[in-house]
Structure 1
Amino acid sequence: MRALWIVITTFGCVLIAANAESCKGCVPLDSFSFDKVIPKFKAVVVKFDVAFPYGDKHDEFRKIAADTKDSQDLLVAEVGVKDFGNKDNSDLAQKYDINKDDYPAIRLFVQGRSEPYKFVAEKDEDFTADNIKRFIRSHSGVYLGLPGCVEQLDRLAKEYQSANESERKKILERAKIFEDTLSEEQRTAAKVYVKLMERIMERGDVFVQTEQTRLEGLLKGKLSNDKKRVMEERRNILQSFTSRDEL
């Protein structure tokens, strides 16, 4: 019996170690550590899941940890919930109204806000690293580079949205000058930023919302993979012109 117990214990330790390595960069939280850690960061994205997660959705979440490893403002965390034995962390799942049919469930905790934001994927294929990153960025104000975006131009876009008309003209010129310093691939993206600035100047800030609605409609239709990628990248750039409070 003692030998059997050693084998079972060793096997359990191997499973735990494998789980710890399965999401490199993810911080495991439990009922004791959760409230100590969450308030320390500007934003914390948490995946509530089974104790030993696997599958495509878990792989997508792993990408977020890898992509944001240099961010000092965002913590990527996991809570493994057990529905057997001591039912570890089931109290946390209950607190945030999560049941096992919801796994994996994503919650975003933002400093200064008592309740977390809930990530909702209408379809399984919407549960992607890019969509979750877009969700984090829109609700937290934490900068996360999205496909198609250029960080310096994202910052100019934010500056542009809070500027008056004369300042916007100067920012537009700065964007055009910056465009000439970029690689060919980034120059393509820069042209989108410049065009959006021009359209906003012509049609007013309402253009941001109408263009966002138009892109969302197009993305729900049938598109080739290349066309879909272009539309998604344009949507990512457009988000840089939208303040956190508007999303």
Structure 2
Amino acid sequence: MKFGISFSLFAFAALVGASNVIDLDTKNFEEYVGGDRPALVEFYAPWCGHCKNLAPVYEQLADAFPSDKVVIAKTDADGVGRDLGSKYDVKGFPTLKWFPKGSLTPEDYSSGRDLEALAGFVSEKSGVKSKIKPPPPPVAVQLDASNFDDIALNDDKNVLVAFTAPWCGHCKNMKPAYEKVAKAFLSESDCVVAQMDADAAPNKPVAAKYDVRSFPTIKFFPKGSKEPIAYSTGRSEQQFIDFLNEHCGTHRSITGVLSETAGKVLTLDTLASNFFTASLPERPDVLGKAREYLATLTGADKKTNTSAQYYVKAMERVIEKGEGWLTKEQARIAGLLASPSLAPTKLDELKIKANILSSFAAQKASEAAEAAEDIYEQVVDAAKQVPQQAKDGVDQFADAVQDKAQKIKEEL
């Protein structure tokens, strides 16, 4: 019974530990390489740190391709495969070489060592599809030598460009945050988040033109300018967001939703506060001032004009229908904003309206807060007086008792 259990455990361990990577040496090399299947061969050394890092990825690569169509193999070029390493001019570890079907003349592999890059190379060379589910398409706009000038140098757009390389570890670490930022700015047509493989041969002249010497190098191309600004801030999502909001004049949050400042016009904010606290007869005068300011914005951008018009519209509705309109409109917009199916443009429009309507109650809320502060201070002062008043009462009672006791004593 014990033997049966031990044998089962051994078989299970062997099954779990099975590898689809073929181990090669000088005796079996041509059994697998140069025959009826193409082969990718890793020349490694057991002591090599980079080889150890590659090992789990290489195992996944072997699992991703049918072994009857593609050979994924390795050889210890510092041990049993030392002669193979010499024969194929291996000078460092790991070295990967691609052997086409029916050939013992290899092609050096010089791309990335991540699973995506390796699988893409094998599929391209062999024509065999891998079992790896392809990653979603990038959100950041992809630039190359053919479209760089049309996008990055567009006079109507602000463009942030990350010059990267597929093999760059720092680029890979930055990618998730950069993609989230690109997604957050999808609704901003004039603020583009882009990326370029600056190590690809056709793109190297563009990278050289903009003095890209390391990866990632990030540069911001302002609207209407051909000269970029070097991005030297951190690589977190929030740092990218803050930079773009400052340089593009946008108001995006990490989630892509507009912030509380979006759509606000300072002068009209002040008028909105004054309008809400003004008496009913005074409100038309404030509305008149808002209309006068709106007339001065003829040269402003479309977004500012649209926001300014809504300030005026809100004042007109309150005069026409009373303050109840403001409360109902805020509730209506809040309900719509909670809908998960809103289109991004509609979401932006409603968020801006919500921000503007909040300006009307800002002054009143401020006054209420000041009044509450005054009441609080009065209560605190009164509370501080209570202990003293209680002490004075006790002292008066004690004095009275003492006087009474003295009189009784005198009478006796």
With the shorter chain as reference, the TM-score category is 0.5 to 0.7
User: Which residue is 2:274 aligned to?
Assistant: 169
Go from structure 1 to structure 2 and tell me whether the alpha carbon gap of 1:47 and 1:21 turns closer, same or farther (over 3 Å shift).
farther
Aligned residue pairs: how many? 183
Aligned pairs (5 A) from 1:91-130: 91-100=205-214, 103-121=215-233, 126-130=234-238
Distance in 2, Cα, partners of 1:33 & 1:156: 33
| Residues 7-53 of structure 1, C-alpha deviations (whole Å, 9 max, x = no match) | 97xx77815999x9476212221222211222445222211111355
Distance in 2, Cα, partners of 1:118 & 1:162: 34
Q: Aligned match of 2:158 in 33, 37, 43?
A: 43
Contact 1:51-1:81 within 8 A present in 2 as well = no
- How far off is 1:180 after superposition? 7.4
**TM-score normalised by structure 1 residue count:** 0.53
Q: Aligned match of 2:189 in 72, 78, 81?
A: 72
Aligned pairs (5 A) from 1:22-61: 24-40=138-154, 42-52=157-167, 54-61=171-178
Q: Aligned match of 1:139 in 247, 251, 265?
A: 247
The SS at the match of 1:48 is strand
Percent identity, aligned pairs only?
17
- How far off is 1:168 after superposition? 5.8
Distance in 2, Cα, partners of 1:93 & 1:47: 11
Q: CA RMSD in A?
A: 4.8
User: Which residue is 1:155 aligned to?
Assistant: 262
Larger Rg computed on CA atoms: 2
Which AA in structure 2 matches 1:107?
A: K
The SS at the match of 1:107 is strand
Contact 1:23-1:62 within 8 A present in 2 as well = no
Go from structure 1 to structure 2 and tell me whether the alpha carbon gap of 1:22 and 1:152 turns closer, same or farther (over 3 Å shift).
closer
**Segment drifting more, 42-51 vs 89-98:** 89-98
- How far off is 1:109 after superposition? 1.8
Go from structure 1 to structure 2 and tell me whether the alpha carbon gap of 1:118 and 1:2 turns closer, same or farther (over 3 Å shift).
same
Which AA in structure 2 matches 1:129?
A: E
- How far off is 1:148 after superposition? 9.5
- What residue ranges of structure 2 are gaps of 5+ in the alignment? 1-98, 110-116, 125-131, 276-310, 315-325, 339-354, 367-412
Contact 2:162-2:195 within 8 A present in 1 as well = yes
Contact 2:183-2:256 within 8 A present in 1 as well = no
The SS at the match of 1:112 is coil
Distance in 2, Cα, partners of 1:147 & 1:48: 22
Q: Aligned match of 1:63 in 162, 176, 180?
A: 180
Distance in 2, Cα, partners of 1:162 & 1:79: 42
| Residues 90-113 of structure 1, C-alpha deviations (whole Å, 9 max, x = no match) | 22222222211xx22222222212
Which AA in structure 1 matches 2:152?
A: I
Go from structure 1 to structure 2 and tell me whether the alpha carbon gap of 1:58 and 1:155 turns closer, same or farther (over 3 Å shift).
closer
Contact 1:108-1:118 within 8 A present in 2 as well = yes
Contact 1:119-1:132 within 8 A present in 2 as well = no
- How far off is 1:132 after superposition? 0.6
The SS at the match of 1:108 is strand
User: Which residue is 1:219 aligned to?
Assistant: none
- What residue ranges of structure 1 are gaps of 5+ in the alignment? 202-247
Higher relative contact order, chain-length normalized (CA < 8 Å, sep 6+) = 1
| Residues 41-86 of structure 1, C-alpha deviations (whole Å, 9 max, x = no match) | 522221111135553212211111222333333332111122xxx7
User: Which residue is 2:120 aligned to?
Assistant: 14
